[in-house]
Amino acid sequence: MSDAGNDPTAIRHRQVQVGALSMHVAEAGEGPLVLLCHGFPESWYSWRHQLGALAEAGHHAVAPDMRGYGRTDAPERVEEYTLFHLVGDMTGLLDALGERQAVIVGHDWGAMVAWTAALLRPDRFRAVVGMSVPFLPRLPMRPTDMMKAMAGDRFFYVLYFQAPGKAEAELDPRARQMMRDMLYTVSGDVDPSHYTKMLELPRTAGFLDSLATPDTLPDWLSQEDLDHYVEQFERTGFRGGLNWYRNFDRNWELLAPFADCKITVPALFVGGLKDAVVTGPELEKPGPGVQMLDLFCTDLRGKVLIEGAGHWNQQEAPEETNGALLDFLKGLDPPRGDSDAL
């Protein structure tokens, strides 16, 4: 995963100063900028199958380690991981790269960053692709209150993640078990009956109790892939990524002024039909969040739902994901230059 002579699709690595953060980015190609935002618990490596494909198609693909991950700085304070900070990081990255505009692509938590970036800064993010997590408007109820009401006496991972240090104490010493089982559990390879077991866990359960252990790694995840993730989290721990979850309520408060706003730039959704986040409890059919996207995106160009893929669609089904992404990019107007800015 390094430079290979003059190969324009080779992945390059560097540190970029973005505001107060030193941010690690992996990049490939030249041309219109496409930002790739990963989710939890991932890194730039989640986009290893997309960087070269985008470069070959004439784009400058940039996949940062997001705030708190990998070789990007991880601020200490929980309050420094709000969506405002994360969108600010992506806007600042455009500035650091000398670019006026980009198409922003996000997966999982990165999708929430991408949707919010398109909502707040359509002047800088000219189009958006959300993967695995659809855009949802601000709800009338505080998120953790809603989660507590829904969970009752049962375990719910977002609530478990709220107390600083609790999940870290469980997961940091067990990075290999965490990454192996996490990547498998929400993939399209897991037995769907496992979701029922997850919903029945008592509130006293730990996060690892909610995961399934594979007999062998799925075909889309090599030992080298797993080792890459494990090395990262053995070095950094999971605190940075967990802090994103600890800002659900803070994000809800900060985004109050934008409650009735819609995504106005061209948008695409991509997800797997074996991803419960996409489908809800009834797998193989799009859930309410996906069905209602048309209400919140005024220029939704499509919903690509990939059979057999789970939550990690860009890793599990790279050809289908790349095809959807490239088709979407072909249909966009070219980026505005500085002379076109207001």
Cβ-Cβ contacts under 8 Å for 19 (sequence gap 6 or more): 88, 89, 92
24 in catalytic set: no
Fold held by 12-335: Rossmann fold (3.40.50)
In the three-class reduction of DSSP (H, G, I as helix; E, B as strand; rest coil), residue 77 is classed as coil
178 touches 233 (CB < 8 A): yes
Whole-number pLDDT of residue 281 = 66
* Catalytic residue chosen out of the listed positions 24, 59, 107, 311: 311
Neighbours of 255 (CB within 10 A): 18
Does residue 105 come out as left (phi exceeding 0), alpha (psi in the -120 to 50 range) or beta?
Answer: beta
* Catalytic residue chosen out of the listed positions 73, 108, 189, 275: 108
Regions in the chain scoring below 70 on pLDDT? 1-5, 281-282, 337-342
The size of the chain, in residues, is: 342
What is the C-alpha separation between 342 and 338, in angstroms, rounded? 9
108 in catalytic set: yes
Whole-number pLDDT of residue 5 = 57
Whole-number pLDDT of residue 334 = 86
Over residues 165-174, the pLDDT tens digits come to 999 999 999 9
Over residues 75-130, the pLDDT tens digits come to 999 999 999 999 999 999 999 999 999 999 999 999 999 999 999 999 999 999 99
